[in-house]
Amino acid sequence: MNSIVALHALGVRKDTLTAEQKSHLDTQGYLHIKAVLTTDEVQALRDRIAELHAAEGAAAGTEVHQEAGTDRLSDLINKGSMFCVVLRKRKVLAAIAHVLYSDMKLSSLNSRSALPGYGLQALHADWGKLETPGDYQVCNSIWLLDDFTPDNGATRLVPGSHLLETTAAEAMEDPRQPHPDEIQLLGKAGDVVVFNAHVWHGGTLNTTDSPRRAMHGYFTRRHRPQQLDQKKYIKPETAASLRLAELVLLGVEGD
């Protein structure tokens, strides 16, 4: 089974997204999908993330990445059945498939909580310059577990910057500073924002007194290495709980 067949088995069709949604992804580089997660799903994810931080302590996130001023977790697919929701929401999968030509697998599933007084990142893309413009290799999805507000470290991005043939570091004197065309991705807990990961993006400063929680479901083309080798890390009980189509999107089955 390849990823095209897997996506069809998971309910993704040509009309899962509207023409306007596809156009927005093409021109602006992102798509905000509201109310993807139910209130119960959001709470289950929050609760499990809190349990994992308590259990993993200083080792949290080490499978992929740690970042000062944030709480991070990695390898979430193996750490609770609630995390497999990233493989089961049709509109999110359809948006990622549109960016990656339905040639896709999960590269990593991590969580990132920007702590009070922290979270600012330089504008960046998750890939260097493309050999062939438009041949996109990576796509990300932000699963909002708290409301994203102007004050709590919401992700910023520069719409349309995936169409540029330069990097933020080349175009800006200081990519940590605001860009005149940037927007903040503001929304409600339960929303998901899919964005072409060649778009310039970054976290903003959390000036509130509470962490700002989110998950990142990061996808790549099937011929590319994953940020976390899913086949190496997958646990037998995780594999047994998933459908074949879901295992294909994890990159542990299929071509």
Say if residue 117's pLDDT is above 90. Answer: yes
- Cβ proximity of 11 and 254 under 8 Å: no
The one-letter amino acid code at 142 reads I
pLDDT digits (tens, 9 = 90+) for 232-242: 999 999 999 99
Q: Bridge-partner residues for 193, per DSSP?
A: 32, 142
> Helix 19-28 to helix 90-100 angle, to the nearest 10 degrees?
50
| Residue 255 is assigned to a structural domain of this protein | no
Predicted pLDDT at 255: 80
Please give the backbone phi and psi of residue 97, each rounded to the nearest 5 degrees, phi first: -60, -35
Please give the tally of structural domains in the chain.
1
| Residue 167 is assigned to a structural domain of this protein | yes
- Cβ proximity of 200 and 158 under 8 Å: yes
Rounded CA-CA distance 60/4 in Å is 34
| Residue 243 is assigned to a structural domain of this protein | yes
The arithmetic mean of pLDDT across residues 87-108, rounded, is 98
Q: Is 134 left (phi over 0), alpha (psi -120 to 50) or beta?
A: left
Q: Is 141 left (phi over 0), alpha (psi -120 to 50) or beta?
A: beta
pLDDT band at 74 (very low <50, low <70, confident <90, very high): very high
Say if residue 244's pLDDT is above 90. Answer: yes
pTM of the model: 0.97
Query: How many other CB atoms are found less than 10 A from the CB of residue 211?
Result: 21
pLDDT band at 131 (very low <50, low <70, confident <90, very high): confident
pLDDT digits (tens, 9 = 90+) for 2-23: 999 999 999 999 999 999 999 9
Q: What is the CATH number for 104?
A: 2.60.120.620
pLDDT digits (tens, 9 = 90+) for 19-35: 999 999 999 999 999 99
In percent, the amount of the chain with pLDDT more than 90 equals 97
Give the pair of three-digit tokens for residue 214. 């989110």
User: Could you write out the DSSP letters of every residue in 234-247?
Assistant: --HHHHHHS-HHHH
pLDDT band at 135 (very low <50, low <70, confident <90, very high): very high
Supply the range of the domain harboring residue 180.
Answer: 3-250
Query: How many other CB atoms are found less than 10 A from the CB of residue 128?
Result: 9
pLDDT band at 225 (very low <50, low <70, confident <90, very high): very high
Rounded CA-CA distance 254/89 in Å is 20
CA quadruple 242, 109, 12, 221: dihedral positive or negative?
Answer: negative
| Residue 179 is assigned to a structural domain of this protein | yes
Say if residue 88's pLDDT is above 90. Answer: yes
The arithmetic mean of pLDDT across residues 122-135, rounded, is 94
pLDDT digits (tens, 9 = 90+) for 40-70: 999 999 999 999 999 999 999 999 999 999 9
pLDDT digits (tens, 9 = 90+) for 158-212: 999 999 989 999 999 999 999 999 999 999 999 999 999 999 999 999 999 999 9
